Amino acid sequence: MTEIKKDKLEDALNSERTEQPKVSKDMEIGFHQGALNTLVNERNEMIRMIQQIEQVMQAHIKRLEELGVKIKTGKE
């Protein structure tokens, strides 16, 4: 997993903009707010998907146990 260094974010953004015109503060705020909104929505969707996967897995585990198969989980 890549470590995100928040204190280096501004330096990274500024290094990419060396030859580009300076962006107004309001535009930059809008950019970051939009990025955060997108990431929050993506995170929420991922959580929803994981919950659905967990429900299906539990249904399979329950049925296997009904059939006499003992399932070992990490909790045991």
pLDDT tens, 21-30?
Answer: 788 999 999 9
* pLDDT band at 17; cut points 50, 70, 90: low
For the segment 27-36, the average pLDDT, to the nearest whole number, is: 96
Higher-confidence residue: 47 or 18? 47
Determine contact, residues 59/53, Cβ cutoff 8 Å. no
Statement: residue 57 has pLDDT above 60: yes
Per-residue pLDDT band for 18 (boundaries 50, 70, 90) equals: low
